[in-house]
Structure 1
Amino acid sequence: MISVGILANPASARDVRRLIAHASTVTVAERCSMIQRALIGLARMGVDRVLIMRDHGGIAQGLELAQKNRRKDQPLQWPKLEYLEMEVGGEATDTLNAVTMMCEQECRVIIVLGGDGTHRLVAHACGEIPLACISTGTNNVFPKFIESTVAGMAAGALAVKKVQQELVCLRNKRLMLEINGKAQIPALVDICVTSEDWIGTRAVWRPKDLRELYLSFAEPGAIGLSSIGSLVLPRARELDEGLEIMMEPSSTNGIKVEAPIAPGLITEINVDSCRPLRLGEPKSIRIPKGTLALDGEKEIEFNAEDQVKITLDPLGPWSINVDKIMGMLAKNI
């Protein structure tokens, strides 16, 4: 039985950036619709079964309602839909547990609907299973905006082996974080060191607080913190290096860039220095205390007694190239 997992975060795209900027919101109804379109794409490619997590946000309930309300004369164009047997508490551990179960049940691909933070959690637990990344969060850099019908077709084509993984997937980099010798969940795009003493609202949006920024890639046209790097020294995600950026608002050195650090929020950033970050080269942070934001959200407070190390690693998750798969499926006439 050919199986695919779908992980949809019902809570992504709901943080403070809707108040201080103009970030959009993807409704639960739209997420349900996106999943249904992906299911149709999966079925047409020959996928037999889809595993999905129940949630408190209404996504699973919406899918069950869509199944119940379909017309009698209209066959359900979905694979067999199974809900994971697990407790759901509305925490990040739900995602980790769900992805672990998808791996144990031999899903060949996992479709992820969410932002950078959701993809970070999935990537930590998915092992070698490739991800089809669909953007529904706020500062979306790792996932891109893809029509879910096409994403479902591409994921299905890979799952049934119409295409070869090594030809259509990218091995992404990741940023490893170690605090006092203990490994944390890696970041996929950025780790930002801020001067704020407490986490507070998790979103990073005050430029005066930014001090250090470590990027796995920085592509032109990006939104969020990686846009700072893309305006100084762009780095493609395929390149075997990232960026290390130092910032100081009061400094008269360096250069100033107008960076879109959130949708509708363009701020002036004073970049003291920007240099390549080499693979496997550990970096110690410079300020004595503050907070660490991973993929755009503050998560960890630290002080002078803590030893924090950041290292760029080449063994991040596999992600599928939807355009490349659809191109390989094209028939020569």
Structure 2
Amino acid sequence: MHAHRQPLTVGIIANPASGRDVRRLTANAGLFSSTDKVSVIQRLLAAFGATGIERVLMPTDMTGIAAAVLKNSQARQGRHWPQLEFLDQPLSQTVEDTRRTARCMAERGVSLIAVLGGDGTHKAVAAEVGDIPLLTLSTGTNNAFPQLREATSVGLAGGLFASQRVPAELALRRNKRLVVREAGRGLCEMALVDVAVSPLAFIGARAISSGADLAEVFVTFAEPQSIGISALCGLWFPVPRQAAGGAWMRLDPEAPQALLVPLAPGLLQGCGVLGAGSLEPGVAHGLCLERGTLALDGEREIEFNPHDRPTVTLDGDGPLTIDVETVLTYAAQQHLLAIDREHPLHPLNA
């Protein structure tokens, strides 16, 4: 007698707060509302259902995202969405909600987790799920790690990978990361895009929105079209995502050269540049300041004083992500989306 086959299951984590933080008020960025996120999730569900995903795990939330998705799924019976299962967990409306959900999904053995959020949301999920691949969707404020793509195409790529129609060696990309360590405090934290050193003494409002608040920046990659802290290196010393190394930059308002940088959507500032260079993997770097705060992927999280000795190290042990373009190119070459007459979406079954 055959063991009961588990349904092909993936997770979706949408950060209710992404795209709604204080930086939306200090810059000219548009809000990414709960309604927008519901629309993105529905497009994912349509693509997942079409590619054979049978079950989707989602967290509950206090902003109505889960409730709206559930209501719409009940109204669309026969639309070939996967079965939805909502994880009823305690809610604190902090990043711990995201971390707890990610751990639960990992324990349930999902094939991948689709993440809707910015750099901080992706970092929080990545820290909890080991080598479960992430399907990244940008809905945050300053995004560099998740690329801006249409959710339907992203969902098709995720579904094709999860249903094992695309080899993992083609579909998955291992990302770089920055590891912040402080041995005296037993501190070990990760950033996916950038670590910024600020002279600001306290964590405070967390987000950095002024070039004068930056003394040093380390990046895993920096693209010229980026917005945010990584744009500093992106417009001065760019580094591709695929490169083995990263980059660093030293800043001072009184430096002889200054660079115009989009630190947030619509927020352009001049930043004084003292120097920049390559960041080699595996080399621990001390900081240029004795005291201040460290911002990881855009948010100040760590305070340090003269008796602390934090270091920043680049390595290649970051999370796995699904390479959407490569997966869909392979799908085209292999005609993976060709369907027979039995498929519910075949034109004869319309």
Q: Which amino acid letter does the alignment assign opposite residue 13 of structure 2? A: L
Partner of 1:200: 204
Secondary structure of 1:4's match?
strand
Partner of 1:26: 32
Map Cα deviations across residues 118-144 of structure 1 (whole Å, 9 max, x no partner).
001011112111111000001110001
1:16 to 17, 22, 39: 22
Partner of 2:261: 259
Counterparts of 1:172 and 1:332 in 2: how far apart (Å)?
Answer: 26
Is the 2:51–2:159 Cα contact (8 Å) retained in structure 1? yes
Provide the aligned C-alpha RMSD in A: 1.4
The 5 Å alignment of 1:67-106 reads 67-70=73-76, 75-106=78-109
Map Cα deviations across residues 92-123 of structure 1 (whole Å, 9 max, x no partner).
11111111111111111110100000001011
Counterparts of 2:105 and 2:281 in 1: how far apart (Å)?
Answer: 30
Secondary structure of 1:236's match?
coil
1:238 aligns with 2:242: yes
Map Cα deviations across residues 41-62 of structure 1 (whole Å, 9 max, x no partner).
0111101111111111211111
Counterparts of 1:51 and 1:44 in 2: how far apart (Å)?
Answer: 17
Is the 2:13–2:113 Cα contact (8 Å) retained in structure 1? yes
Shift of 1:28: 0.4
Secondary structure of 1:111's match?
strand
1:282 to 266, 281, 284: 284
Secondary structure of 1:201's match?
coil
Is the 2:223–2:239 Cα contact (8 Å) retained in structure 1? yes
Question: Structure 2 length as normaliser, TM-score?
Answer: 0.91
Counterparts of 1:290 and 1:21 in 2: how far apart (Å)?
Answer: 24
Is the 1:176–1:183 Cα contact (8 Å) retained in structure 2? no
Counterparts of 2:187 and 2:13 in 1: how far apart (Å)?
Answer: 24
Where do 5+ consecutive residues of structure 2 fail to align?
A: 1-6, 336-350
Shift of 1:181: 5.0
Structure with larger Rg: 2
Partner of 2:306: 304
Map Cα deviations across residues 245-270 of structure 1 (whole Å, 9 max, x no partner).
11111233xx3211111100111111
1:212 aligns with 2:216: yes
Counterparts of 2:197 and 2:23 in 1: how far apart (Å)?
Answer: 19
Question: Structure 1 length as normaliser, TM-score?
Answer: 0.95
Partner of 1:53: 59
Counterparts of 2:225 and 2:37 in 1: how far apart (Å)?
Answer: 25
Partner of 1:143: 146
1:42 aligns with 2:45: no
Secondary structure of 1:6's match?
strand
Counterparts of 2:199 and 2:269 in 1: how far apart (Å)?
Answer: 17
Is the 2:20–2:33 Cα contact (8 Å) retained in structure 1? no
Counterparts of 1:196 and 1:6 in 2: how far apart (Å)?
Answer: 36
Q: Which amino acid letter does the alignment assign opposite residue 132 of structure 1? A: L
Map Cα deviations across residues 1-28 of structure 1 (whole Å, 9 max, x no partner).
2111101001011222222210121110
Relative to structure 1, the CA distance from residue 149 to residue 233 in structure 2 (aligned partners, 3 Å threshold; closer, same or farther) is same
Counterparts of 1:185 and 1:89 in 2: how far apart (Å)?
Answer: 22
Which deviates the most, 106-115 or 74-83?
Answer: 74-83
Q: Which amino acid letter does the alignment assign opposite residue 226 of structure 1? A: S
1:160 aligns with 2:163: yes
Counterparts of 1:68 and 1:94 in 2: how far apart (Å)?
Answer: 26
Map Cα deviations across residues 173-205 of structure 1 (whole Å, 9 max, x no partner).
000011235233300000001111112222111
Counterparts of 1:103 and 1:60 in 2: how far apart (Å)?
Answer: 20
Shift of 1:331: 5.2
1:123 aligns with 2:126: yes
Counterparts of 2:193 and 2:333 in 1: how far apart (Å)?
Answer: 36
1:225 to 225, 229, 233: 229
Relative to structure 1, the CA distance from residue 332 to residue 162 in structure 2 (aligned partners, 3 Å threshold; closer, same or farther) is closer
Q: Which amino acid letter does the alignment assign opposite residue 187 of structure 2? A: A
Q: Which amino acid letter does the alignment assign opposite residue 248 of structure 1? A: D
Identity score, percent: 40
Q: Which amino acid letter does the alignment assign opposite residue 234 of structure 1? A: P
Partner of 1:171: 174
